[in-house]
A and B are shown apart, each in its own frame.
Chain A
Amino acid sequence: MIRTTPLHERTNALNETQLWSHWSGHLAANRYQMSDKLEYFAVRNAAGIFDSSPLYKYRITGKDAESFLAGVLARDIRACVPGQAQYTCWLDDRGFVIEDGVILHTARNEYLLTSAEANLAYFEDRIGRNDARIEEVSHDIGTLALQGPRSRDLLRKLVPQMGSIPYFGLARGEIGGAAVTVSRTGYTGDLGYEIWMESPDALHVWDALWDSVEGHGVLPFGLAALYMLRIEAGLLLLDADFDSSRYAWNDAHRSSPIELGWSWMFKDLNGDDRAFIGRKALQREIAEKTSRWTMRGLVVDWRDYDRVYGDAGLIPPKDHTPIVEDWMVYDDDYKRVGYATSFMYSPMLQRHIAIARVRPDFAAVGTKVNLEFTVDHHYEQVAAHVARLPLYNPQRKTV
């Protein structure tokens, strides 16, 4: 039997469509009502609630927890003090990305790491002589996200001091009589929070939150809306925009963190004396500039797009449904210079957008490229320009 999340009793009652995905062995709502776009706008214009409990979660404790993590995670965990969260990744020896995730430094010598796939054996096998323990707590902890411009005020109504949590900060408190940890994190690229609680408390927390948001235009949102939001936000998705190097058959399916646009994680690499897995390869790649790709956004030229469809006698489709697929990116001489991995029509930006990787010499913002589509069963190229990720980046996200 497929598992359900600690919030299922509530999400099930709200899911009018009864459309579910299987996410890490759990039922996860695709959408709650007939329109994922409505849920998407709730997040961009008011707030949305999302059950992210299916994420893998690992608790790492012990007096060597930090030094253990400093050796297995690529980003310097020592910069993440208790009460902070960090977006991080872990690499193989050749400097290719295994996975990414958010880690919360919940207390001294205590961390909570999230990941999209199972990583328990991977980390456990690398503890070595460190005085550290890792336990999987995926089922013990329920997670719900409150995301959108109203999220801060709504959270503040429940727990006044939580209105001041900084971007990627944490706070502990009580919601619905239950102890919770709240982090200012999320997967929507908007102002937002994630609430972490013991699974048996999850329904109390949900009920308290749900009652408090009434009348504020808040909707529960499902995976379909989440996938729209994350493309605009330039947040990469495993198995969509990159693959885990652990399971890749060849290097075409591997990516370095630099190629995925995460060079900002290593700004202080020279002053950081850690030995971590993949360090040498990473340093070499940075020094020798051997990155094959640069992660970018593509913004499709709307006039060219309309022209191509118009010439075929078709109404140009402007469908917000994200499509995860390979789209070829060419230069004007029909030479492949990259490929897009996630594509959608963005209602906020009123353009077709994509997450793509392009050759570093085509990565300058504004560079004109051509994105390949099929129109009437043959290939057509439509002009697009290279843009920096995230394509949608409201100030409120970090301020």
Chain B
Amino acid sequence: MTMTAPDKKSKRSNPPKSNRSTSKADRTYDAIVIGGGHNGLVNGAYLAKSGLRTLILERRHLVGGAAITEELRPGFWFTTFSYALSLLRPDIIHDLELVKHGFMPLLMSSRFAPDGQGDYLLFGQDHAQNLKEIARHSKHDADAYDQYGHDMDRVCQAIKPLLDTVPPDIFSDDPEELLALAGIGARLRKLDKRVLHNAVRLLTGSAADFLDDYFDSELLKGYLASSSIIGTKVGPRSQGSGLVLLYHSLGEHDGEFGSWAFHKGGNGGFTQVLARAAQSFGAEILLESPVEAVITKDGQATGVALADGTEYHAGTVISALDPRRTFLELVDPSELPDDLVEHIRRFRFQGTSSKVNFALDGLPDYPGLGPKPDHFRGFTNIGPSMDYLERAFDDAKYGWYSQRPYIDMAVQSTIDPDMAPPGKHVLSCFIQYTPYKLRESDWDTEKENLGDTVQRTLESFFPGFGDLVLQREVVTPLHIERTVGLSEGNIFAGEFIAPQMFFFRPAPGWSQYRTPIEGYYQCGSGTHPGGCVMGAPGKLAASQIIKDRAKTRPRARA
């Protein structure tokens, strides 16, 4: 097995808790990153690469945050939370020399959408064959599919630069900010009318309205609309679902928009690569080091205090945690402007996704296709129509979890055989909708009932599924919050809704990774451009920090 258990690896390469240095000089750094999730690691790696003595503090026994892989049963590796890679910014791969440290995005070669009635859509790597597959359901849609793909690609190409840009501060008179704003305006003006209009329709409208313009097939629409609800409390017919659809189409892998990869060893394998890269640039990573508070003096961050009282000092402190923890827990809100505090209090988390992961004795059997690996070498979409998805959302609207949930399945061991013993499999299931706040119950009570609901749903698509189950892990929004620290279990560290994006992420006037406390920065997915294992917040925050330090350095010398 080429994979090293994440905890063992990390423990070997990091000093254990008891070895904590007692000398104050040894506990002084240029920059301290709070949280060793993927954005904290990216941020710390960039800072270390720029020459800063950087410390990354992680509360748990392993780095990765919500991007971890755990051996929950001997030989079976579970992607507990996050489970695939798409939006990772390509420049991070190169800037941080990730290939050298084991970056290996494996191809997910199929996409499978069973309708549960014996039919299905099965996409592979041959475009013309995919069109024939759609034509089995609708000849009209087979033609429309290319137009849809082209229209989406053009919007993605137009929007993509924003993922790699610090949002301009629209409330500032700084000429630099105005220039950046004008730059965005100029870019928009250059866009083809159709592209710009499609972009606005997606950014503001519903996925259903957009998809209805192209397609007739309910199965195809259900499949495509599934990307419009991931991680967000919207149905495909809700305004705002277009934005989520667009966001998930923006991912690129080996130059292809909307394409996903499975990292060797899961996303935990990926964050181990990030950790090795960060360490190679000189960043230090301390595990089991929960930060209690950011220490400030005269409105300036000076370090952090751990729960056990140990203090580490640095003039630059970066929170990779979500906005609620960054502004309301790590610092005293009374140190912050009232309007910011109010905005963060109103910032919507309302996690609505869960994971149910399985160790399986064999491959699920879809009637007519059989228990073969071919159609399981990518995502399997349990969302056979827009109605199915919308009804799943109906339950959530009224405070309950979907009784026929949307499921994004991936039998990851068919893509990376090191994930399970030969002939056995691990199945990752992303579940929606499971609202954080339940009416008249709680997730400790409902946890296994959710597992049963998911298993029942899978049984209806894959008869005999239950007999394959060797082990089951249920991860509800409450358990995401408890384990990883993401408020209300929101996988994006804050909902993807227009008033919480770009200029406004996480709050108007605070979208540039700074905070009102000098030297205190934010780099988590609660900042622009947001969640998914993208790394852009960590990278953009680092660029801002490096720029700010360059500005203040001459002053320090004088």
- A residues sitting closer than 8 Å to B (CB atoms) are 33-35, 37-38, 41, 44-46, 149-150, 214-217, 302-303, 306, 313, 315-320, 345, 347-351
In the assembled complex, B337 has its CB within 8 A of some CB on chain A:
no
Residue of B nearest to A219 (CB): B373
CA distance A34 to B414 in the complex (A): 16
Given contacts A38-B107, A41-B106, contact A319 B422 (CB under 8 A): no
Residue of B nearest to A31 (CB): B125
CA distance A333 to B471 in the complex (A): 64
In the assembled complex, B315 has its CB within 8 A of some CB on chain A:
no
CA distance A46 to B420 in the complex (A): 13
Interface contact A34-B423, CB-CB below 8 Å: no
Interface contact A350-B93, CB-CB below 8 Å: yes
Given contacts A217-B417, A318-B254, contact A347 B99 (CB under 8 A): no
B66 CB → nearest A CB, Å: 24
A329 CB → nearest B CB, Å: 21
- We find that the number of chain B residues with CB closer than 8 angstroms to chain A is 32
The interface bits of chain B over 90-114 (1 if a CB of A lies within 8 angstroms of the residue's CB, else 0) are: 1101100001000111110100000
Interface contact A34-B129, CB-CB below 8 Å: yes
Interface contact B417-A315, CB-CB below 8 Å: no
Interface contact A37-B416, CB-CB below 8 Å: no
In the assembled complex, B2 has its CB within 8 A of some CB on chain A:
yes
Report B411-453 residues with CB < 8 Å from chain A CB: 414, 416-418, 422-424
Interface contact B256-A318, CB-CB below 8 Å: yes
In the assembled complex, B377 has its CB within 8 A of some CB on chain A:
yes
CA distance A317 to B374 in the complex (A): 27
In the assembled complex, B74 has its CB within 8 A of some CB on chain A:
no
In the assembled complex, B153 has its CB within 8 A of some CB on chain A:
yes
Residue of B nearest to A316 (CB): B255
Interface contact A38-B377, CB-CB below 8 Å: yes
Interface contact A315-B416, CB-CB below 8 Å: no
CA distance A149 to B418 in the complex (A): 11
In the assembled complex, B399 has its CB within 8 A of some CB on chain A:
no
Name the A residues within 8 Å of B153 (CB-CB): 315
The interface bits of chain B over 103-132 (1 if a CB of A lies within 8 angstroms of the residue's CB, else 0) are: 111110100000000000000111001000
Interface contact B105-A347, CB-CB below 8 Å: yes
Interface contact B129-A345, CB-CB below 8 Å: no
Given contacts A45-B264, A149-B2, A348-B99, contact A34 B416 (CB under 8 A): no
Name the B residues within 8 Å of A345 (CB-CB): 254-255
Name the A residues within 8 Å of B257 (CB-CB): 315
In the assembled complex, B50 has its CB within 8 A of some CB on chain A:
no
In the assembled complex, B157 has its CB within 8 A of some CB on chain A:
yes
Interface contact B423-A214, CB-CB below 8 Å: yes
CA distance A107 to B164 in the complex (A): 62
A47 CB → nearest B CB, Å: 9
Given contacts A34-B129, A35-B125, A318-B255, contact A350 B94 (CB under 8 A): yes
A282 CB → nearest B CB, Å: 36
Given contacts A315-B257, A350-B103, contact A215 B90 (CB under 8 A): no
Name the A residues within 8 Å of B129 (CB-CB): 34
Name the A residues within 8 Å of B423 (CB-CB): 214-215
B264 CB → nearest A CB, Å: 7
Tell which of A35, A45, A306, A319 touches B416, judged by Cβ atoms closer than 8 Å. A45
Interface contact B93-A38, CB-CB below 8 Å: no
CA distance A320 to B256 in the complex (A): 12
The interface bits of chain B over 177-212 (1 if a CB of A lies within 8 angstroms of the residue's CB, else 0) are: 000000000000000000000000000000000000
CA distance A348 to B2 in the complex (A): 16
Given contacts A33-B374, A37-B107, A41-B107, contact A315 B94 (CB under 8 A): no
CA distance A6 to B495 in the complex (A): 59
Name the A residues within 8 Å of B126 (CB-CB): 34
Name the B residues within 8 Å of A313 (CB-CB): 157
Contacts A38-B109, A347-B107 supplied; 14 other A-B pairs, CB < 8 Å: A33-B374, A34-B124, A35-B109, A35-B124, A37-B107, A41-B106, A45-B106, A45-B417, A149-B2, A150-B417, A217-B416, A302-B90, A319-B255, A349-B99
B175 CB → nearest A CB, Å: 26
Name the B residues within 8 Å of A303 (CB-CB): 91, 94
A-B contacts, 13 listed (Cβ < 8 Å): A35-B109, A41-B107, A46-B418, A150-B417, A214-B422, A214-B423, A302-B94, A347-B107, A347-B254, A349-B99, A350-B90, A350-B94, A350-B99
Residue of A nearest to B413 (CB): A217
Interface centre among A34, A302, A320 (most CB of B within 10 A): A34
Interface contact B417-A216, CB-CB below 8 Å: yes
CA distance A46 to B257 in the complex (A): 27
Interface contact A320-B254, CB-CB below 8 Å: yes
A147 CB → nearest B CB, Å: 15
Name the B residues within 8 Å of A150 (CB-CB): 417
Interface centre among A46, A318, A351 (most CB of B within 10 A): A318
Residue of A nearest to B94 (CB): A302
B233 CB → nearest A CB, Å: 32
CA distance A170 to B87 in the complex (A): 46
A315 CB → nearest B CB, Å: 6
CA distance A270 to B382 in the complex (A): 69
CA distance A348 to B211 in the complex (A): 35
Residue of A nearest to B128 (CB): A34
Interface centre among A33, A150, A302 (most CB of B within 10 A): A33
Interface contact B125-A38, CB-CB below 8 Å: yes
B85 CB → nearest A CB, Å: 12
Residue of A nearest to B157 (CB): A315
Name the A residues within 8 Å of B91 (CB-CB): 303
CA distance A302 to B417 in the complex (A): 31
Name the A residues within 8 Å of B418 (CB-CB): 45-46
Given contacts A35-B125, A315-B153, A345-B255, contact A45 B104 (CB under 8 A): yes
Name the A residues within 8 Å of B106 (CB-CB): 41, 45
CA distance A111 to B256 in the complex (A): 48
CA distance A215 to B423 in the complex (A): 4
Report B245-277 residues with CB < 8 Å from chain A CB: 254-257, 264
CA distance A347 to B374 in the complex (A): 21
Name the B residues within 8 Å of A45 (CB-CB): 104, 106, 264, 416-418
Name the A residues within 8 Å of B374 (CB-CB): 33
CA distance A249 to B99 in the complex (A): 42
Residue of A nearest to B374 (CB): A33
CA distance A303 to B99 in the complex (A): 16
CA distance A33 to B104 in the complex (A): 22
Name the A residues within 8 Å of B424 (CB-CB): 215
B291 CB → nearest A CB, Å: 34
Interface contact B255-A317, CB-CB below 8 Å: yes
B255 CB → nearest A CB, Å: 3
Interface contact A35-B107, CB-CB below 8 Å: yes
Name the B residues within 8 Å of A216 (CB-CB): 417, 422
A213 CB → nearest B CB, Å: 9
Name the A residues within 8 Å of B125 (CB-CB): 33-35, 37-38
Name the A residues within 8 Å of B377 (CB-CB): 38
Name the B residues within 8 Å of A38 (CB-CB): 107, 109, 125, 377
Name the A residues within 8 Å of B255 (CB-CB): 315-319, 345
A228 CB → nearest B CB, Å: 12
Name the B residues within 8 Å of A302 (CB-CB): 90, 94
CA distance A45 to B106 in the complex (A): 9
CA distance A46 to B418 in the complex (A): 8
Name the B residues within 8 Å of A319 (CB-CB): 255
Name the B residues within 8 Å of A317 (CB-CB): 255
B191 CB → nearest A CB, Å: 11
CA distance A200 to B7 in the complex (A): 51
Tell which of B94, B104, B109, B256 touches A348, judged by Cβ atoms closer than 8 Å. B104
B248 CB → nearest A CB, Å: 17
CA distance A37 to B256 in the complex (A): 14
CA distance A351 to B98 in the complex (A): 12
Q: 5 closest Cβ contacts across the A-B interface?
A: A318-B255, A217-B417, A215-B422, A35-B125, A215-B423
B276 CB → nearest A CB, Å: 16
CA distance A351 to B97 in the complex (A): 12
CA distance A150 to B418 in the complex (A): 10
CA distance A241 to B359 in the complex (A): 47
CA distance A205 to B124 in the complex (A): 31
